[in-house]
Amino acid sequence: MHELKPTDYGRARALYEPLTFMPFCAAVLEGSHEGRVLVDDLDRPGTAFMLTWECWGYLAGDPSKEAFLRDLNEALFAKTFLGEHAWGLLLNCPPDGWREGLETVCAPHPPIEFPRKHYVAHKMSGDWQTCIPKGYALQRMDRSLLDLPGSLPDDVTRMVESIDWDADTVAKGCGFVALCGDEIVAWSMIDCVVGDVGEIGLYTQAPHRRRGLATATSAATIAYGLEHGLTGVVWDCYLYNAGSVRTAERLGLVHERDHTMYCLHLNENNHWAMLAWHQADGGNYQRTLDTCERLSAQQAQVPELVYVAAARAWAATGAPDKALAQLDRAVDAGWNYAPDLACVEFDGLRDTPQWQTLLARLGT
């Protein structure tokens, strides 16, 4: 396994052609975004691994190069590339022929499939200002945000610091925030631009979700990007993220393709907990319970997420008492991430006294 110099990334470009619909992958190859590229042969690469943002990986080329894949597996678990505090890796690869190669890279853990939907916006219809919910204000990301009281979210700070203030283009990105008073409670940003195409990311603080802020900030950001030099804006989301899918379709984005991302958690217990959660996302509730039971039987210290995943499965299969008991166990184990309770499986529990007791224990 050898690392290419940034000036030599062009040698691996043909291998990555099936993945360049993802702007961050294309941006590393063109040198506009930081990343690392490792190959099996410096002069004539046949297989390659790209790493960017510390946890986003891209495999490409010949999946039968077992020596390269085994070396990559060893380096990942040794955290040679990922850093001492890395939790794991989100992997993308071409759609065909990579199953066995992925199993080699992730061994001894099974790769967790995260199906995704890929949308592209080429135009925006309507006036985004009509989307702003009452009680909120939208503002384009600019230097004036630095004057707000309190600290800015890290993503917003990074964007404000990267924007080219002297240019009338979005070559380095753009974004909008939603303000409730002086507090930034939601934001959308195009933070990767390759040629005339950018990729959008968004976030809404938990207390302000389900009020239309994602739609408003995204509409404003996409419209601004298309008005200032972009011909397309990419929106890529998890298939089971119903809110993100609804927002993309509400905005009129074009569904271009489906693809699969794979998750590897370096900690074995956390990897199996993530697998259980994903099985619940897909409605595979018996598999969820089987995975949770296996982990609980084998390990003295079970990740909190296992109890919440089991609760989702019990709630969905008509066992509310067992679901609530699992949620209580999660709180006892230290779980306090209330947004997990937004899962649809819990809808039938929300009017019960036990649910109100649970919320009180979480402090919400």
pLDDT digits (tens, 9 = 90+) for 223-232: 999 999 999 9
Do both 173 and 66 map to the same domain?
Answer: no
The mean pLDDT value of the chain amounts to: 93
| Pairwise pLDDT comparison (24 vs 128), residue with the higher score | 24
Q: Tokens representing 163?
A: 């924007």
CATH number at residue 166: 3.40.630.30
Q: How far is the C-alpha of 156 from the C-alpha of 179, rounded, in Å? A: 13
Do both 213 and 338 map to the same domain?
Answer: no
Does position 343 have pLDDT exceeding 70, yes or no?
A: yes
Q: How far is the C-alpha of 173 from the C-alpha of 159, rounded, in Å? A: 7
Cβ neighbours of 260 (radius 10 Å): 16
Domain assignment of residue 292, yes or no: yes
Domain assignment of residue 115, yes or no: no
pLDDT at 210: 86
For residue 344, count CB atoms less than 10 angstroms from its CB and return exposed for 0-12, middle for 13-18, buried for 19 or more: exposed
Q: What are the DSSP calls for 190-241, one per residue?
A: EEEEETTEEEEEEEE-GGG-SSSHHHHHHHHHHHHHHHTT-SEEEEEEETT-
Q: How far is the C-alpha of 103 from the C-alpha of 111, rounded, in Å? A: 6
Do both 157 and 251 map to the same domain?
Answer: yes
Share of the chain above pLDDT 70, in %: 98
Do both 95 and 165 map to the same domain?
Answer: no
Do both 124 and 237 map to the same domain?
Answer: yes
Does position 238 have pLDDT exceeding 90, yes or no?
A: yes
CATH number at residue 325: 1.25.40
Does position 22 have pLDDT exceeding 70, yes or no?
A: yes
Helix (H, G, I), strand (E, B) or coil at 302: coil
Do both 253 and 275 map to the same domain?
Answer: no
Residue at which a domain ends, from 258, 287, 311:
258
- The tally of domains found in the chain comes to 3
Stretch among 27-31, 92-96, 170-174 having the lowest mean pLDDT = 170-174
Do both 139 and 37 map to the same domain?
Answer: no
Domain assignment of residue 65, yes or no: yes
Q: How far is the C-alpha of 350 from the C-alpha of 319, rounded, in Å? A: 14
Domain assignment of residue 330, yes or no: yes
Do both 75 and 10 map to the same domain?
Answer: yes
Domain assignment of residue 228, yes or no: yes
pLDDT at 91: 97
- Helix H or strand E segment including 287: helix 285-298
**Structural domain harbouring 135:** 120-258
Residue at which a domain ends, from 56, 81, 110:
110
Do both 124 and 253 map to the same domain?
Answer: yes
CATH number at residue 75: 3.40.630
Helix (H, G, I), strand (E, B) or coil at 267: coil
Domain assignment of residue 355, yes or no: yes
Do both 106 and 160 map to the same domain?
Answer: no
What is the tens place of the pLDDT at every residue in 270-299?
999 999 999 999 999 999 999 999 988 876
Do both 196 and 280 map to the same domain?
Answer: no
Share of the chain above pLDDT 90, in %: 78
Helix (H, G, I), strand (E, B) or coil at 314: helix
Residue at which a domain ends, from 75, 110, 145:
110
Question: Which residues have CB under 8 Å from 315's CB, separation 6+?
Answer: 323, 345, 346, 348, 349
pLDDT at 129: 85
* Residue for token pair 């933070």: 191
Do both 145 and 94 map to the same domain?
Answer: no
Rounded-to-10 torsion of CA 291, 296, 301, 307: 70
State the number of CA atoms in the 13 A half-sphere of 357 facing the CB.
7
Domain assignment of residue 66, yes or no: yes
